Chain A
Amino acid sequence: MKNKWLAAPYVVWMALFVVAPLVLVVVFAFTSKTGGVTLDNFSSMGTYLPAFEHSFLLAIAATAICILIGYPLAYFLSRESLMVRKVAMMLIMLPMWMNFLLRTYAWMSILDDNGLINQFLSAIGFFSLVNGIFGTDLQAIHMINTQGAIVLGMVYNFLPFMVLPIFSVIDKIDPRVIEAAQDLGANGAMVFRKVIFPLSLPGVLSGVTMVFIPSVSTFALSRLLGGGKTLLLGDLIEMQFLGNAYNPHLGSAIALVMMVIVLVLMAIMNRFGEGEEGVAVL
């Protein structure tokens, strides 16, 4: 049993950087600036309800879009040749090798009112055409600083986390199982609905987790792509620690509540996937 000492570095790491901060968050959340134990941090949270609402709605939207784009992509990729799959995986991973902020700035200059898209549309005479037909005075399509732009940023940044787990689960489905379904009389659509999709659900569940959690807690995206108009939980928490509103106790409380909500959601989702093999999302 000497081998268990090999786990020591990780255990120390976990204790120092995961468990200890978590304990600190809990302690901060239940104390006030003056040091006494209090529940004020939680009771005052009502004012921030819109932030909770926006965060969860936008994260749900981003996750749903990621499934809609990522699932078909992963499914068709799994049927391609090894070469195609390798190249496609590279392309999917490629953006992740670039700095997150850099990628987001790039989107800003694409979506801006004077950005690439609008310049392009203007150059091909799209706006004069529309204005000519409808008698409007449209100069640009407004895209930046909207909630849509935030969702776009989430989808763009987190899509690989949806594609990869789904792909790896579908890829591992035994081709004989699919042949067995065909053999028993299932046509293409039925094979997908009754065999491939149910067997791929564990991949979807872990994809959802990996997209939803970073989406719900993101803070830079709302500021850069949303123009700070939509206050999200990530921004709210950041403000409590670094901003003018400096109040780590409230920040901790919000973080704690968010964590509990996410945990509950994930638990419900895992209950859904029960009976499926190897669902280990959390």
Chain B
Amino acid sequence: MSKELIRLSDCFMKFDDDVILDHINLYINDKEFLTLLGPSGCGKTTTLRIIGGFQKPTSGDVYFDGVRINDVPPHKRKVNTVFQKYALFTHMNIFENVAFGLRVNKVPDPKDPKRMIKVPESEVKQRVEEALALVNLAGYGKRSVNSLSGGQQQRVAIARAIVNRPQVLLLDEPLGALDLKLRKDMQIELKRIQQQVGITFIYVTHDQEEALTMSDTIVVMNEGKIQQIGTPEDIYNEPKNAFVADFIGESNIIDGIMHADKVVGMYGKKFQCLDGGFAPNEPVDVVIRPEDIDIVPEAEGQLTGTVTEVTFKGIHYDIIVDFRGFKWLIQTTDYSPVGARIGVKIDPDGFHIMKKSPYSGTFGDYSSYSSEYDELNEDRLEEEDGDEE
């Protein structure tokens, strides 16, 4: 990656007595697609708004291209924002919405560089059409905002934000209001747009799948703190703590002991793994992804358990297996009936060892996993929509 563009240095934010951001340190590279990922109230939107200039940190500094910009108002920053629910100007047509950024800014007169003039109408027209073409809305200029679908309004919001050619585009849960199919299409489209215009995208979402699909770098946040920064592969394969492991994908998180490098103990047995660098006999959290577990006949298994629940998911089955009271989630294409005794086999690269953290023991057990689980999940999403409004 190229040079550093934005830096948040020890940003702390308090609202009344609630700590919103707890000493955030973060740098963002030029032309990077960076995602701030976390549950509702984790501080990701606040971080974005600090970069956009809509909020000031209680303490700490924000740098843009090496210059401190804490006190620079939003209209003077070289960043543009795609807002949640788009925030389009309903009193203007699509063309005027996109042209807004060009009309309110002045540029140096090419004949006399000291004079500031309005952007000439011919250039406005050309740039608006370029922007609309980029988001596949060529020819939509004359339409009114309300005649467009959600997905189209979304594209207008993106065109409006990039028409000024910002160095950074901030996107605040831009796909939150779209349905699943459209969201997937837009994910690919956003990535294409980012590569085509070649600028930095800072993207806020609570959807881990969205983050994994699009990002160069993911910043996982919770309770105002950064939990982990890394590439999607890093975050998924080497989660730093139980929170990250649980938030990114499904995880079984089991108490274990590192007997020695590459040897981890669980359930009183020793397993081969690939991790090392822990103190001898250090207690650890062991993460095993549901898709890394093979179901084998009971006699051949490294561990044996009882199937308590089976859910058909289309591509695979979600199977809940009871291993001495701790329930695991296994994703497999092989059907096993409820009540069956099965064995499991896990390859050494299926174990991910994490140091103990304050989140240890709070995630990773699927005892409560049932149809209720999905409902809970949906509630969480709705809550998210509600309080970010």
Contact = CB atoms under 8 A, between A and B. Distances in A.
B350 interface: no
Interface string B79-116: 11101110111110000000011011100000000000
Residue of A177, A180, A183, A194 ringed by the most chain B CB atoms within 10 A? A183
Residue of A174, A181, A185, A195 ringed by the most chain B CB atoms within 10 A? A185
A181 B73 CA distance: 12
B164 interface: yes
A141 to B, nearest CB: 45
A185 B90 contact: no
Contact-residue size bin, chain A (C-beta under 8 Å from the other chain):
20 to 34
Residue of A176, A199, A275 ringed by the most chain B CB atoms within 10 A? A176
B75 A176 contact: no
A194 B100 contact: yes
B83 A277 contact: no
Contacts of A199: 89-91
A190 B82 CA distance: 20
Residue of A176, A180, A182, A190 ringed by the most chain B CB atoms within 10 A? A180
Residue of A179, A190, A195, A276 ringed by the most chain B CB atoms within 10 A? A179
Interface residues of B, number: 27
A198 to B, nearest CB: 4
A7 interface: no
Contact of B74 (A183, A194, A198): A183
Interface string A163-183: 000000000001011011111
A180 B73 contact: no
A187 interface: yes
Contacts of B104: 181, 184-187, 190, 194
Contact of A187 (B75, B89, B103): B75
Contact of A177 (B76, B87, B101): B87
A177 B88 CA distance: 6
A41 to B, nearest CB: 45
Contacts of A182: 54, 73-75
Contact of A180 (B83, B91, B164): B83
A183 B52 contact: yes
A195 B88 CA distance: 10
B230 to A, nearest CB: 29
B146 interface: yes
Contact of A184 (B53, B85, B91, B160): B160
B90 A186 contact: no
Contact of B75 (A174, A186, A277): A186
B323 to A, nearest CB: 49
Residue of A182, A190, A198, A275 ringed by the most chain B CB atoms within 10 A? A182
B81 A183 contact: yes
B105 A185 contact: yes
Contact of B89 (A183, A185, A195, A275): A195
B168 to A, nearest CB: 11
B80 A183 contact: yes
A181 B103 CA distance: 11
Contacts of B81: 179-180, 183
A276 to B, nearest CB: 6
Q: 4 smallest A-B Cβ distances: which pairs?
A: A184-B101, A176-B87, A186-B104, A180-B87
13 contacts: A179-B54, A179-B87, A181-B89, A183-B53, A183-B74, A183-B161, A184-B101, A185-B104, A186-B100, A187-B75, A187-B104, A194-B100, A199-B90
Given A176-B83, A186-B104, A195-B91, 9 more contacts: A179-B74, A180-B81, A181-B104, A182-B54, A183-B74, A183-B75, A183-B161, A184-B101, A199-B89
